[in-house]
Chain A
């Protein structure tokens, strides 16, 4: 069952809003556009799969959303705050606390043991070393890698490395997880494991934006966007906005609010 975008009013608030986003490389005759007048609204709790041919601007889009790159023109609102007004220092802090990255080639630092790789976002969130390691250990435990905490990345299989990378992406409990072809370098078994992990993370109310070339993975998504030449070709939602998962913390908040109201009535 498919729902047309914008037709159904959702309960979850908008977390990302892109308006007329353009990314140009080069000038004059040599100019090429990775993104052209790109509009997108992402609700909290969505699991978006972005597909499209190579060079259509998927990774550029992910980099801009992840505050690693800036658009040539257009506006990007993160939690209704224009990103252009956020200082580089705060953008870095947002990357540490609100955004988690998962890469195709895992991008673990080869000289650091797995636990220290996983704890990296916490380093820049201001956590004390002991607290960092406890949290990283908990994250690794969740992905059945606890016994490999002090292994070096090269001692792990591709699937295990990607699970460690996912643990790193979620260790700081970010609101948005950006995954750039996370199964691109994995065999089908490892791919399934990784996707199941992402599904689990999404079911906890996290927003995931994932770039993939594999159409079979779209079954995990709540929304599938096909890109072509830096613009959206098709955009299909498979889950109503109202049915999107809510984050555990928000559930708790809502629950507390309800109880307060009830007590007030009494």
Chain B
């Protein structure tokens, strides 16, 4: 009951200074909103990648060259730097070795390079993927028209992503047209249906890629290496055994070289997930700073309030308020301010997140964890920044306070 009385007192004193209370709440609200926005968008990205893997299937295995150390910088390097291409020790021989193993349904290498392409228009930097015919099966892609790469053709053929086709030829139907890649001519034999997942475990926007035979690409670009080998197992039951078999076979084939990783399930998204965690962590720290600024605002306002209401504190003490009564009254005021800020931040954060979704491919990620984080952060900020003003108010001498007219 006493808590209810304290709440009533806190509410009535906040109501007396509506504008001030609102502005302080807004400060906290902006801090909480930035955290909500970051967590929501990062959650959206992670769930996007994870859902892609589950869509592709549990029978997917990926071989990647491993970074020398599993550190934050190596993960960032792995995902963002082109130097990763030089580090790869995977070869077409490995692809052939894997293809011969039991329980392996299809194998496709990913040899990625960025080159300029000349079709009817010039695209100065397009992603060219050297792969095999199995790629379309593993990736579950569909063709809008034409065929995918075939192993038995002697001519240089290429399959083009829908987005890139438009850029290169100004049309979505460029079958039969040619393009120049590193001085060699390639003929377009197929166009992929539009794919709307620019963020995926291949780290490629398939809509903007040109697919050519890995062997053909290797002939015109000697420095090219394979960054990833995608494998689909024939049977999911023996997946673990298949992974072990691939690992052992590759180690033997590569004369004991173990600088590669054989991944399946959630491990495939791990580098992306880790990078997003790092980015979201850093951004959360930045948002945390704005929350601290908001908290300092709360403390500032509460200290002003304590100073202004010194006489009131004296009167309350004279009519029977104890230390804890005054302490609770002021602490609850700070808590109400920050909790209201938390609610405002939640609304603002999700509002902006939904707004961003209209122009980006993400969907805001709503989870109870985010709601708890919003509530807890506002509560903790309220307690931390409300503690000192509340102690200051409660410790005031009633006689001096009664003489004080603010």
Contact = CB atoms under 8 A, between A and B. Distances in A.
Please determine whether chains A and B interact with each other in the same assembly: yes
A96 B319 contact: yes
Interface string A153-171: 0000000000000001000
Interface in A76-123: 88-89, 92-93, 95-97, 101, 103, 107-109, 111-112, 116, 120-121, 123
Nearest to B315: A107
Contacts of B139: none
B319 A101 contact: yes
Contacts of B315: 107-109, 120
Interface stretch (B8-16, B59-67, B125-133, B350-358): B8-16
Interface string B36-55: 00000000000000000000
B318 A107 contact: yes
A150 interface: no
Given A89-B324, A107-B402, A109-B312, 6 more contacts: A66-B318, A103-B318, A107-B314, A120-B316, A123-B5, A123-B9
B1 A125 contact: no
Contact of A129 (B2, B8, B13, B323): B8
Contacts of B324: 89
B322 A88 contact: yes
Q: What is the size category of the interface that chain B forms with chain A? A: 20 to 34
24 contacts: A88-B322, A89-B322, A92-B320, A92-B322, A93-B322, A95-B317, A95-B318, A95-B319, A101-B319, A103-B402, A107-B318, A109-B315, A111-B13, A112-B12, A116-B12, A121-B319, A121-B320, A123-B321, A124-B319, A124-B320, A124-B322, A125-B320, A126-B1, A126-B2
A63 B312 CA distance: 17
Nearest to B322: A92
A111 B16 CA distance: 7
Contacts of B320: 92-93, 95-97, 120-121, 123-125, 172
A112 B12 CA distance: 9
4 closest A-B pairs by beta carbon, nearest first, are: A96-B320, A92-B322, A124-B320, A95-B320
Q: What is the size category of the interface that chain A forms with chain B? A: 20 to 34
B325 interface: yes
A69 interface: yes
A68 B398 contact: yes
A88 B323 contact: yes
Interface in B287-342: 311-312, 314-325
A97 B399 CA distance: 19
A124 B321 contact: yes
Contacts of B402: 103, 107
Contact of B399 (A63, A88, A112, A128): A63
Interface of B: 1-2, 5, 8-9, 12-13, 16, 311-312, 314-325, 398-399, 402
Contacts of B314: 107
A168 B8 CA distance: 19
A68 B319 contact: no
Q: Which of A69, A92, A96, A103 has the most CB of B within 10 A?
A: A92
Contacts of B323: 88-89, 92
Contacts of B321: 92, 96, 123-124
A124 B325 contact: yes
Nearest to A123: B5
Contacts of B322: 88-89, 92-93, 124
A249 B52 CA distance: 81
